[in-house]
């Protein structure tokens, strides 16, 4: 994401710090003498001034809690009194031996792969479609993005109503056309619940994929399409040989975002199934939240957090190394 | 000229058919919710797919006359505004030196923010809960939810704003320097106004993310401090028999984020495109 290109003008610090107003930052009075040491000091203070609020927020509310979760994972702690009962890796052993957690990991990865196998082609197809000159294209793009704007919880509540066993609209419609409907409803049947959650997630997040792909397609010059057409290529050939390859970096970015999102899945599952039935839709996040807040097993929750973080981190590093590196290599 | 004559890339009937199906599938659940709010539970039970007959306003009136709803809406608005203000201000301040200063730790510092994208709020949620309620004594307050949300919105904000600030023409700044403006003055009077489109993008994203947030408010807020998503979830479990009432409540809770998005759509899309390309 970093583009080294159009960076700053030749080191602006030296020119600026000579200005009197730099006093406001440094609190010092008197104009700069132009001594390089003092200029550098002022520049550092300015940078610090600009960056400090953000770094402080990140340190307090992101970094500290993550480390604190890691520390918690080595203790048996119910949330009362000081954290003294050090148990080493015992919490990790318990988490990794817990079928509910290992199933949760599997569920997260099912969602990761299903997203790439289903949402990617669907999103791509829709983006290519919406990139054609059809009437009402702008409106279509807006409409397809609507679910993405809704809160997962709010969308989840509506879908929960739609999916109600027997009385819900979906079952009523399916029954009326003779489609076999499970006794317990789609969310109540262990074998179908995760797939159902995935369908709802696809409805919710397909718009983001389409929007990103459309953005990428705008980078494909019209001339290429025209040239392809003059050469007698069909529309599909042009897409496959020109548009899709040029879209590859956007696709890789989307895959990355989608993977990270799939690993962190919480809201939709919590609303639709609460992780049930029979833990069939538990994710790592629902597992650690229920351990931490409902059972006060803070050590277990900490260990699950660390495992979730490590899996995400490993995946991100691997992806960067194996896939995204191609983008940077292609540039050089 | 030539392009207009081409049929290539145009939509045929099939394309329109697919587009129509997509619209139906996308808007179906939303319309079901909105229309369901105009029906009675008895109507819903009789034929879930029918239009309201007669159209009833009482569910929506019930929601709008419910003081809890307004309390939740106020909480959501206040928290989202604080989150947005803190995230945008801290974010643009951090992005500024990362875009327009040369210093040794610039790229490593930027990497800190990029890595921040990888930290899911769920990982830190239990310690965050303890930190906010016990150590900071901010449990069940607007700030207690807004500050962590702003912190988690920062990586996106910085990552989107940096290329924006990089693209500002350096001549304007140089001219201001020659006129004797300070770095802070330049930031305040030149960089901020010029990057306003980017600020709007990240502002809307932070606002919508905060407005839609569930996990953190779920743990931190109780009683009448709760936000709309929590209110919707609670209402739907407490009034599970009153489907029409739930649908009305849910539909009204959707409106603010939708309106904000529709009003700001172009800018959000522009900002996202910049971020993806960069």
Residues near A169 by Cβ (< 8 Å), separated by ≥ 6? A161, A162, B32, B48, B49
Nearest CA in chain B to A42: B183
pLDDT surpassing 70 at residue B118: yes
Residue among A3, A144, A168 minimizing CB distance to B26: A144
Q: Please identify among residues 59-98 of chain B the ones whose CB lies closer than 8 Å to any CB of chain A.
A: 86, 89-91, 93-94, 96-98
Residue among A54, A144, A154 minimizing CB distance to B91: A54
A53 to B94: CB separation less than 8 angstroms, yes or no: yes
Query: How many angstroms away from the CA of A284 is the closest CA of chain B?
Result: 9
> Using an 8 Å Cβ cutoff, are B50 and B42 in contact?
no
Ranges A73-77, A109-113, A319-323, most confident:
A109-113
pLDDT surpassing 50 at residue B94: yes
Query: How many angstroms away from the CA of A69 is the closest CA of chain B?
Result: 6
Angle at Cα A135 formed by Cα A132 and Cα A139, nearest 5°?
95
Percent above pLDDT 90 for chain B = 43
pLDDT surpassing 70 at residue A55: yes
Nearest CA in chain B to A211: B269
A58 to B29: CB separation less than 8 angstroms, yes or no: no
A212 to B102: CB separation less than 8 angstroms, yes or no: no
| A15 vs B16: which has the higher pLDDT | B16
Distance between the two ends of chain B, CA-based, in angstroms? 32
Query: How many angstroms away from the CA of B19 is the closest CA of chain A?
Result: 8
Nearest CA in chain B to A218: B273
A143 to B184: CB separation less than 8 angstroms, yes or no: no
Q: Residue A123 and residue A263: Cα distance in Å, rounded?
A: 20
Place of tokens 């207009």: B4
The structure tokens listed for A182 are 């499970």
From A23-27, A43-47, B85-89, the region with the lowest mean pLDDT: A23-27
Tell me the average pLDDT across B14-32: 90
Query: Counting runs of H as helices and runs of E as strands, what totals does chain A give?
Result: 18, 0
Which residues of chain A neighbour B10 with C-beta distances below 8 Å?
Answer: 132-134
Residue among A50, A65, A140 minimizing CB distance to B97: A50
- pLDDT at residue B11, rounded to an integer: 63
Tell me the pLDDT tens digit for each residue of B193-217. 888 888 988 898 899 889 999 999 9
Residue among A46, A153, A164 minimizing CB distance to B232: A153
Which residues of chain A neighbour B152 with C-beta distances below 8 Å?
Answer: 61-62
Q: How confident is the model at residue A332 (pLDDT cuts 50, 70, 90)?
A: very low
Query: How many angstroms away from the CA of B190 is the closest CA of chain A?
Result: 15
Partners of B10 in beta bridges: A133
- Average of per-residue pLDDT values in chain A: 83
Tell me the pLDDT tens digit for each residue of A186-198. 999 999 999 999 9
- Average of per-residue pLDDT values in chain B: 86
Q: Residue B238 and residue A153: Cα distance in Å, rounded?
A: 15
A308 to B120: CB separation less than 8 angstroms, yes or no: yes
- pLDDT at residue A18, rounded to an integer: 39
Whole-complex ipTM:
0.86
Tell me the pLDDT tens digit for each residue of A250-299. 888 889 889 989 999 999 999 999 998 999 999 999 999 999 888 889 99
Q: Does B18 lie at the interface with A, CB-CB under 8 angstroms? A: yes
> Using an 8 Å Cβ cutoff, are A235 and A134 in contact?
no
From A264-278, A296-310, B35-49, B84-98, the region with the lowest mean pLDDT: B35-49
A135 to B11: CB separation less than 8 angstroms, yes or no: yes
pLDDT surpassing 50 at residue B4: no
Query: How many angstroms away from the CA of B166 is the closest CA of chain A?
Result: 6
Residue among B96, B126, B181 minimizing CB distance to A50: B96
> Using an 8 Å Cβ cutoff, are A157 and B232 in contact?
yes
B48 phi and psi angles, rounded to 5 deg: -60, -20
Q: Count contacts between A and B (CB, < 8 Å).
A: 342
Ranges A3-12, A212-221, B48-57, B95-104, most confident:
B95-104
DSSP-derived 3-state class of residue A133: strand
Q: Residue A150 and residue A156: Cα distance in Å, rounded?
A: 10
Q: How confident is the model at residue A306 (pLDDT cuts 50, 70, 90)?
A: very high
Residues near A95 by Cβ (< 8 Å), separated by ≥ 6? A101, A300, A303, A304, A307
From A208-222, B34-48, B86-100, the region with the lowest mean pLDDT: A208-222
pLDDT surpassing 60 at residue A239: yes
What angle, rounded to 10 degrees, do the helices at A190-217 and B243-277 form? 40
Q: How confident is the model at residue A33 (pLDDT cuts 50, 70, 90)?
A: very low
Which residues of chain A neighbour B22 with C-beta distances below 8 Å?
Answer: 126, 140, 143-144
B166 to A46: CB separation less than 8 angstroms, yes or no: no
Q: How confident is the model at residue B269 (pLDDT cuts 50, 70, 90)?
A: low
Contacts by A321-325 with C-beta closer than 8 Å and gap 24+? A323/A252, A323/A255, A323/A256, A324/A252, A324/A256
Percent above pLDDT 70 for chain A = 86
- pLDDT at residue B273, rounded to an integer: 59
């Amino acid at each position: 994401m970093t583009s080294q290109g159009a960076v700053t003008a030749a080191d602006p610090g030296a020119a600026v710090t000579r200005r009197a107003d730099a006093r406001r930052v440094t609190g010092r009075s008197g104009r700069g003498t132009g001594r390089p040491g003092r200029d550098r000091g002022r520049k550092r203070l300015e940078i610090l001034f600009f960056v400090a609020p953000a770094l402080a927020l990140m340190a307090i509310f992101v970094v500290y809690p993550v480390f604190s979760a890691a520390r918690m994972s080595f203790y048996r702690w119910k949330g009362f009194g000081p954290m003294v009962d050090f148990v080493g890796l015992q919490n990790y052993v318990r988490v990794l031996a817990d079928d509910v957690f290992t199933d949760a990991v599997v569920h997260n990865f099912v969602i990761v792969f299903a997203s790439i196998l289903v949402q990617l082609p669907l999103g791509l197809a829709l983006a290519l479609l919406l990139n054609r000159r059809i009437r009402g294209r702008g409106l279509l793009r807006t409409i397809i993005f609507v679910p993405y704007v809704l809160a997962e919880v709010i969308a989840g509540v509506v879908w929960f109503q739609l999916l109600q066993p027997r009385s819900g609209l979906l079952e009523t419609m399916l029954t009326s056309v003779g489609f076999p409907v499970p006794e317990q409803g789609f969310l109540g049947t262990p074998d179908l619940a995760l797939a159902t959650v995935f369908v709802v997630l696809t409805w919710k997040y397909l718009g983001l994929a389409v929007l990103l792909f459309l953005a990428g397609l705008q980078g494909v010059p019209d001339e290429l399409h025209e040239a392809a057409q003059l050469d007698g290529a069909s529309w599909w050939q042009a897409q496959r040989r020109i548009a899709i390859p040029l879209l590859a970096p956007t696709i890789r970015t989307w895959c990355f975002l989608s993977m990270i999102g799939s690993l962190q899945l919480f809201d939709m599952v919590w609303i639709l199934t609460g992780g049930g039935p029979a833990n069939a839709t538990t994710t790592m996040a629902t597992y650690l939240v229920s351990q931490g807040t409902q059972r006060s097993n803070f050590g277990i929750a900490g260990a699950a957090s660390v495992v979730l973080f490590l899996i995400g981190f490993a995946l991100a590093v691997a992806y960067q190394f194996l896939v995204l590196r191609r983008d940077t290599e292609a540039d050089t | 000229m030539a392009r207009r004559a081409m049929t290539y890339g145009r939509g045929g009937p099939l394309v329109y058919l697919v587009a129509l199906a997509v619209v139906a599938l996308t808007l179906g659940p939303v319309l079901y919710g909105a229309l369901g709010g105009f029906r009675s539970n008895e109507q819903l039970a009789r034929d879930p797919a029918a239009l309201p007959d007669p159209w009833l306003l009482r569910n929506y009136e019930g929601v709008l006359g419910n003081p809890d709803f307004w309390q939740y809406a106020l909480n959501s608005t206040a928290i989202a505004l604080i989150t947005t203000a803190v995230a945008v201000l801290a974010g643009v301040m951090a992005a500024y030196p990362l875009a327009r200063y040369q210093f040794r730790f610039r790229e490593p510092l930027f990497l800190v923010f990029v890595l921040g994208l990888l930290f899911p709020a769920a990982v830190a949620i239990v310690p965050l809960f303890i930190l906010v309620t016990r150590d900071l004594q901010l449990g069940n307050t607007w700030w207690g939810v807004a500050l962590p949300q702003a912190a988690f919105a920062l990586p996106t904000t910085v990552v989107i704003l940096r290329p924006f600030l990089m693209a500002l023409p350096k001549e304007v700044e140089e001219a201001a320097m020659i006129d004797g403006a300070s770095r802070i003055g330049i930031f305040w009077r030149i960089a901020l106004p010029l990057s306003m489109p980017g600020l709007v993008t990240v502002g809307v994203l932070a606002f919508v993310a905060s407005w839609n947030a569930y996990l953190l408010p779920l743990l931190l807020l109780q009683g009448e401090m709760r936000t709309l998503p929590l209110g919707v979830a609670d209402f739907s479990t407490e009034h599970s028999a009153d489907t029409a009432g739930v649908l009305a409540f849910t539909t009204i809770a959707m409106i603010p984020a939708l309106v904000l998005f529709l009003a700001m759509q172009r800018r959000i899309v522009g900002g996202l495109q910049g971020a993806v390309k960069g």
